[in-house]
Structure 1
Amino acid sequence: MLKVILFCVNYLKARQQFPGPPVASIWSGNLLDTMNDDVHERWRDWHRQYGPVYQTWNSILSRVIYIGDPALISRIANSNWPKFPAQYAGFTPLSGSALFAQMDQERWKRQRKALAPAFQPVVVHDQYSSLQSHILVLIEVIDRATKTGSVINLASLHVLLTLDFVGEVAFGTKLNAIQDGEDCRILQIFHDVLPELMKCGLFPLRAKVPVLESTRRMHRSIKELRTMGYTAVSNARSDEKAGSDSGSKRIFEILAQQRGEDGAYLFTAEELVDNYVTFLVAGGDPTAHTMTFAVNETLKKPHVLAKLRAELDEVLPSDCEVPTIEQVSRLKYLHLVIKETLRYNGPGFGTFRYTPKDVEINGITIPANTTLALWNPQVHRDPTLWGADVDEFNPERWSQSSRLTLPPGSYFPFSYGPRKCLGEGLAMLEMSLTLATLFKRYDFSFQEGFSMEFLPSFTLCSKNGLPVKARLRG
């Protein structure tokens, strides 16, 4: 009886610690709100209504404190507070013990150190020829549509492109996604996995007890994906033993063939597959959606499009199909467009951490094992940080002449601190080359009546794609 009373007292005390939206019921808390398609907008509204630190409840036993104060974000991320095992349990069916979902701090450090060499700038630049070949296939598809005046779903093409590129360089498989189109098997796997995985991340028990058919379908698709990963590991190590050397290595080959001082492989096959499937999902999905959002916002802002076109025409020769890395490095305004896209509607939401022991936040003692969400949708749209035009897409805000003085922790599209995404350089290369190619080569116009609807899946994406007509520029 005493334990019940103590639990009730602690629960009521926790309910009063921080403001937050009212709960629908004591049993489900705000869970229905956080499962809605507009939850990213609710996060922003709650931030503005309740302040930079607020809380929601998934049940009477599960509380999430959203941290939107840059100083606290910087403190927690730079100190590398651990990720909450219970929260990330929903992602483990896909990622296992990959870097993304690694809970053991010492094991995380070893993995991070071993993975880092495969994502150095020189290695990323070595992937250029692969990316170039896939972009050339992409423009073949779009060129055909220009001849018939057909509407194309650019959002889908972006996903197919990233799947082909990341699938080859970081997963070790030729997926032929662009050629097969929306009927390709790998895209179906993504559709089966990603929306369900996001729900499992918010409610881990859903993954552990797969009552719903959508959850069981996710598990079947993940098993298929991981089988492909084991094949890639086996092939890479067989090539090494056979003495095969085709020059610059792809990322998955570097990782699969990496050995320690004792001559043994640094990674087991299972560890590699954990990271391969995470690279494919985390490297493909957010990058594709960022490109889609960038095209959408640029087409809605004629002055942004005009300025971007002027830069492209100045830097790139008229017969350029796919720019070189050197040429892209001189496209300064394009970089601002991408940076603003990641602020305005970045596809990644942030990271879950937890309090390993009782800790004080804003003068309030939070008990150990409390979930913290370092979430960027609301921080990137906080008027107190970004000014009155926070809800406007404005690449110029990042220019040298008008750059805001932002405190650390205000902008983290690729996460923050020691756990910052290793694949940032690869993603930026793909986005820069693809967007430069598309805006240099084509005039795009929206399908009549189109207005983008957003959907928080594993990442933020377009619910209704990006249907456009393309015309070759004269």
Structure 2
Amino acid sequence: MWTALLIAVAALLAARLYNKIYFVRYCQFSSIPQLPNSFFFGHLKLLGQYMKHSPAGAHPDVAFFEMHNKVGRPPLMIIDLWPIKDPLVLVCSHHVAEQVSRVSKLHPTSVPKADHGNMKRVLGAKSLLTTNGDEWKMMRKRFNPGFASQNILALLPSIVAKLPPFIHNLETLARSQEEFRLGHVLMALTFDIIGVVVLNEHLDTQHLDVSRNGDLFKLYIQLMDTYSQDNLNAQWWLSPRIAWKRRRLDDQFEAAIKSIIRKKHAECQDEKTNDKPLRSILSLCLQDSPTLSPELLDATCHHMKSFILAGHDTTSAVLAWLFYELSRTPRVLESLRAELDSLFGPATSPQDVMDKLASSDGPRLVRCMPYTSAVFKETLRLHPPGATARYSEPGTGFSVSTPSGQQQCLDGVMIYNFDPYINRDPIVYGDWADKFEPERWLGADADDIPASAWRGFERGPRNCIGQEFATMEARVIIAVVARCFDFEKVGLGELDLDHGGKPVFGQDGQYKVKSEVYQTIQVTAKAVDGMRMKVRPSIGRRGGGKSDK
């Protein structure tokens, strides 16, 4: 009798499981375009095949592009990752993406951020990047003053002060003609800058001999290495050894951050007594707290981790792509240099430019770079380092309207604003959607592009709080570097030369290349090879690459 009962119970459970899987696979989201899926594996096996045929180490977005093309480029597409992860909906229309990111009655601060999985620790478990609703709103309100224009411009001398070691490194590499990873050198610079801006701490990050770099930076690099090619933010139990190493390094990183917080809190109390101004982001966390409780220490640590990551990563990743695009697009490089000549005069030495940027005239100068800004914006359009993932709980009733007017409920799925596609949507950007064309952001042409179709810093109330800082920082670095150094790509993306050793123009006005550079993933998207380069002083430019020391 017991055997029969167990068989009956097992059969009932099997039937319920079958019905659950069948509903998820074939009924729940049947109205959203998708590729054929498997009863047992959903799209996991198919996605694996697409990723296998992608270039080595490529970002999952590369596979998503191919899958989206295969299904006919619809505004929404579902990729069924259940039960490993929630089903994923790619939002491939700026009309729909705007509905996800904007305020609504259902979601007063926009659709909540999706769970960040194993990235939550490095992002800060209770930070501006990972919280939702009223908790997030309170945090955003608290930090907004730190990113106001007046405060950002006041940071200009601090940014400029970190540039001499960077210039020295480029000069050293130019003399040696050694190959190097531009993305890594830029990351060291922007990390050094964000150390001052966020922590008011000099982190000593810019040594070409990496063994000489500061301990906090070396620890951070080790931690980031554990996220290399973590393609789908996989569950910890799929890679327990890496998860353990990541946790150990993150604990050490948090301990180092907390040590700085304790020191700065004590300094803040002394500064209050002496009526000295507080400008760093850390000071905003501590300014009204005479006592550093364990709860405040933890919360502040989470915020600092998120600002450190977001504050250096976007600028360094995008600038690596920017100098690559300039190296193969001579007309854009010449136009950029002409704008800088008009602003800073013909003297191109880095020290001359840095002196002017650090002067009282610096804020005016960084605001007078429309072409430089367009170059940065166009690079960010083509090579965004990240996008946003959202999640509306089942039963909420969150629906979007596609451009054709179809209503689709997106409760219970991970909603991924597929910004790498939206930023290149041929419906918006036409036949030149994939081309590097900064002029599209200048003059009358810019008016034809809907604001929601460029999502470099995302949009809505949860757009990037530091976007003004990032763009100013980028303009400063470009202004100092672009006229006195020439970069030459090595390996992937190397120029295709003719029999005389000269680069060959393609129809799009760029030099032809032997192969394409593509993005990989390490928390965010970056050039797969770190943007391997050689650098030399710019030929025919006065001031060359020499800084005055």
The TM-score with structure 2 as length reference comes to: 0.78
Q: CA deviation at 1:40?
A: 2.2
Alpha-carbon distance in 2 for matches of 1:84, 1:252: 23
SS at match of 1:228: helix
| Gapped regions of structure 1 (runs ≥ 5) | none
Q: Tell me if structure 2 keeps the 8 A contact 1:91–1:101.
A: no
Paired amino acid for 2:380: L
SS at match of 1:286: helix
Paired amino acid for 1:413: G
Residue 151 and residue 397 in structure 1: after superposition, are their counterparts in 2 closer, same or farther (change >3 A)? same
1:40 pairs with 2:79: no
Task: Report what 2:244 is aligned to.
Answer: 216
Deviations 1:123-145 (A, max 9, x none): 11222222111112211222233
Q: Tell me if structure 2 keeps the 8 A contact 1:84–1:352.
A: yes
Aligned counterpart for 1:205 among listed residues 232, 235, 240: 235
Task: Report what 1:99 is aligned to.
Answer: 128
Residue 239 and residue 389 in structure 1: after superposition, are their counterparts in 2 closer, same or farther (change >3 A)? same
Alpha-carbon distance in 1 for matches of 2:331, 2:16: 64
Q: Tell me if structure 1 keeps the 8 A contact 2:229–2:520.
A: no
1:286 pairs with 2:329: no
1:16-27 alignment, distance < 5 Å: 16-23=30-37, 26-27=40-41
Alpha-carbon distance in 1 for matches of 2:181, 2:230: 28
Q: Tell me if structure 2 keeps the 8 A contact 1:26–1:59.
A: no
Task: Report what 1:127 is aligned to.
Answer: 155
Alpha-carbon distance in 2 for matches of 1:241, 1:38: 46
Alpha-carbon distance in 2 for matches of 1:228, 1:210: 29
Q: CA deviation at 1:250?
A: 3.6
Q: Tell me if structure 2 keeps the 8 A contact 1:291–1:431.
A: yes
Alpha-carbon distance in 1 for matches of 2:89, 2:189: 37
Paired amino acid for 1:131: I
Task: Report what 1:51 is aligned to.
Answer: 74
Q: CA deviation at 1:20?
A: 2.5
Alpha-carbon distance in 1 for matches of 2:420, 2:233: 20
Residue 220 and residue 65 in structure 1: after superposition, are their counterparts in 2 closer, same or farther (change >3 A)? same
Paired amino acid for 1:338: F
SS at match of 2:523: coil
Q: CA deviation at 1:408?
A: 4.4
Deviations 1:30-52 (A, max 9, x none): 35357962422233334443412
1:262-411 alignment, distance < 5 Å: 268-317=296-345, 318=347, 320-322=352-354, 323=357, 324-355=362-393, 357-362=396-401, 363-366=406-409, 368-411=411-454
Task: Report what 1:470 is aligned to.
Answer: 536
**Which stretch shows the higher mean deviation, 450-459 or 153-162?**
450-459
Runs of 4+ in structure 1 displaced over 6 angstroms?
Answer: 198-201, 263-267
Alpha-carbon distance in 2 for matches of 1:367, 1:460: 26
Residue 328 and residue 365 in structure 1: after superposition, are their counterparts in 2 closer, same or farther (change >3 A)? closer
Task: Report what 1:436 is aligned to.
Answer: 479
Q: CA deviation at 1:292?
A: 0.5
Deviations 1:165-207 (A, max 9, x none): 112221343221103644435555444434655877934532x
Residue 148 and residue 195 in structure 1: after superposition, are their counterparts in 2 closer, same or farther (change >3 A)? closer
**Which stretch shows the higher mean deviation, 69-78 or 59-68?**
59-68
SS at match of 2:112: coil
Q: CA deviation at 1:163?
A: 0.8
Task: Report what 1:423 is aligned to.
Answer: 466
Residue 355 and residue 380 in structure 1: after superposition, are their counterparts in 2 closer, same or farther (change >3 A)? farther
**Which stretch shows the higher mean deviation, 117-126 or 22-31?**
22-31
When the two chains are superposed, the root-mean-square deviation of aligned CA atoms in Å is 2.9
**Which stretch shows the higher mean deviation, 163-172 or 353-362?**
353-362
Aligned counterpart for 2:86 among listed residues 58, 62, 75: 62
SS at match of 1:418: coil
Residue 210 and residue 229 in structure 1: after superposition, are their counterparts in 2 closer, same or farther (change >3 A)? farther
Alpha-carbon distance in 1 for matches of 2:339, 2:224: 36
**Which stretch shows the higher mean deviation, 398-407 or 356-365?**
356-365
SS at match of 1:470: strand
Percent identical: 17
**Which stretch shows the higher mean deviation, 344-353 or 153-162?**
344-353
Alpha-carbon distance in 2 for matches of 1:246, 1:162: 30
| Structure whose residues are more often helix by fraction | 1
Paired amino acid for 1:162: T
Deviations 1:317-353 (A, max 9, x none): 3152323332222121111000000101111223333
Paired amino acid for 2:256: M
Residue 349 and residue 195 in structure 1: after superposition, are their counterparts in 2 closer, same or farther (change >3 A)? farther
SS at match of 2:28: helix
**Which stretch shows the higher mean deviation, 422-431 or 146-155?**
146-155
Q: CA deviation at 1:296?
A: 0.5
Q: CA deviation at 1:225?
A: 1.7
Task: Report what 2:521 is aligned to.
Answer: 456
Q: CA deviation at 1:248?
A: 5.0
Q: CA deviation at 1:151?
A: 3.8
Alpha-carbon distance in 2 for matches of 1:166, 1:23: 45
Alpha-carbon distance in 2 for matches of 1:277, 1:449: 32
Aligned counterpart for 2:110 among listed residues 65, 81, 85: 81
Alpha-carbon distance in 1 for matches of 2:42, 2:477: 44
Task: Report what 2:504 is aligned to.
Answer: none
Task: Report what 1:112 is aligned to.
Answer: 140
Deviations 1:43-100 (A, max 9, x none): 3334443412001122346201111222221122112333355x32332222111010
Residue 161 and residue 102 in structure 1: after superposition, are their counterparts in 2 closer, same or farther (change >3 A)? same
**Which stretch shows the higher mean deviation, 179-188 or 129-138?**
179-188
Residue 27 and residue 9 in structure 1: after superposition, are their counterparts in 2 closer, same or farther (change >3 A)? closer
Q: CA deviation at 1:446?
A: 3.2
Residue 24 and residue 34 in structure 1: after superposition, are their counterparts in 2 closer, same or farther (change >3 A)? farther
Alpha-carbon distance in 2 for matches of 1:246, 1:447: 53
SS at match of 1:100: coil
Alpha-carbon distance in 2 for matches of 1:389, 1:338: 17
Residue 300 and residue 403 in structure 1: after superposition, are their counterparts in 2 closer, same or farther (change >3 A)? same
